[in-house]
Amino acid sequence: MNVTSIVAENARGIREEKKLTLDGAAAATGVSRSMLAQIEKGEVNPTISVLWKIANGYKVSFTSLVEERGEAVRVLRGEVRPPLEEDGGRYLNYPLFPFDETTLFETYRIVIKPRGSLAAQPHLAGSEEYITLFSGTAEIRVGEETFSLANGVAIPCLGFGTWQMKEGPETVAAIQKALELGYRHIDTAAYYQNERSVGQAVRASGLPREAVFVTSKVWNTDRGYESTLRAFDRTMEKLGLDYLDLYLIHWPAAANRFDNWEDINGQTWRAMTELYQQGRVRAIGVSNFLPHHLEPLLKTEVAPMVNQVECNPGCQQKQTLAYCRDHGILVEAWSPLGSGRVLENATLQALGKQYGKSAAQICLRWCLEQGVLPLPKSVTPQRIQENTAIFDFALTPEDMARIAALPPFGGSGHDPDQIAF
């Protein structure tokens, strides 16, 4: 029996033993109902991160999901059974000894290839983890605020946006200040025309390349297979980096301009997939895609891992967020502060006073509470620092509901199906 079938049988059996419905299981694990149903049917091969979420939510061992039930004795013969994979095959997990009820112990062999990583889910309270490094070097980060993408890549949950920041010393200085203050995620794009400054700031920071997560995007004039590959090469030349962490399609081909918009998006995505499979980029995704744009890409070999959209309390994108959540796509928020317009809202200002925070900090925290990654932008050192002070409080469900009830206001008005650029 292959791993996918074993996981399907075990996940369904454990859920039924615990008398949980799929809705109850989703609430317990943080994994969407649709994803759990696909796992139980053996239709998908879940990532290690997803399996850990299920194990922790069900309060069972990890190996109880990946080992055949009733297997009393196992003879270990090297690597006969295929490993569980993350990060595009750069992180390999070989379960060796299943969970022992007597010793409360389970053992794995981990192989991490160059630039491989895993954003591990927290273990249950009281757990202890022992790590023996047999060869090479490894970096272990504890307590870092990150999200985990569908392929297991860790992405810092607060990014530094660079839209409208011009190429030059001011942009370099702003990014360097952000890195000094603890940002580890920089978002740029070919269209921003500041990739050289981003690369210069990252290289001059003194931080290991692996410590800074860098995103860029392919612009609309470079859609298509060959054009996207050439655009990526130009981006890498400007950045001066060996690899990119995340590459996005900046906008979908607009339905009002292209009868074959789906094919154009598909050809662009084919190039993105190729770059990912070659290891030149650690993760791929899209930006400003609505559910009907995403649906065809979900049927391809590699599904989008990120969708970056305009998102703030005045432009909540509820339908797109729900769709992405159900399909394991991380949502990033551009303009999380509504370019300043949203900050004048009376409800957000009142909440700021209630929590001893600014309206901007309320907006950023609102994003995080929904599992959305905000990308605030500023060149002012004080505001750059202020935007990081969002991890020492949480909005109550009642206050989240107050924000959810706000009518639309302060959005850019850009409709991805009607754009003229």
Euclidean distance between CA atoms 380 and 202, whole angstroms: 18
| HSE-up (13 A, CA, CB side) for residue 283 | 26
- What pairs with residue 148 in β-bridges? 154
Structure tokens at 329: 């796509």
Q: Which helix (H) or strand (E) holds 169?
A: helix 169-180
SS (H, E, C) 276-294: HHCCCEEEEEEECCCHHHH
- Would you give the distance in Å from CA 322 to the centre of its chain? 15
**205: closest CA among 235, 181, 237?**
181
Contact predicate 178/160, CB 8 Å: yes
Euclidean distance between CA atoms 228 and 77, whole angstroms: 44
Structure tokens at 340: 């300043």
Structure tokens at 301: 């070999």
For the chain, how are helix, strand and coil distributed in percent, rounded to 5?
40, 15, 45
* DSSP 8-state secondary structure symbol assigned to residue 419: -
Question: Is 195 in a helix, a strand, or coil?
Answer: helix
- Would you give the distance in Å from CA 29 to the centre of its chain? 17
Euclidean distance between CA atoms 178 and 17, whole angstroms: 49
Contact predicate 50/34, CB 8 Å: no
Which one is catalytic: 192, 247, 276, 323? Answer: 192
E-strand stretches of 154-280: 154-156, 160-161, 185-187, 213-218, 244-249
Is residue 94 annotated as part of the catalytic site, yes or no? no
Euclidean distance between CA atoms 402 and 399, whole angstroms: 5
Please provide the size of the chain in residues: 421
Residue 280: phi and psi, rounded to 5, are -80, -20
**Residue 400: count of CB within 10 angstroms of its CB:** 15
Contact predicate 331/320, CB 8 Å: yes
What residues act catalytically?
Answer: 192
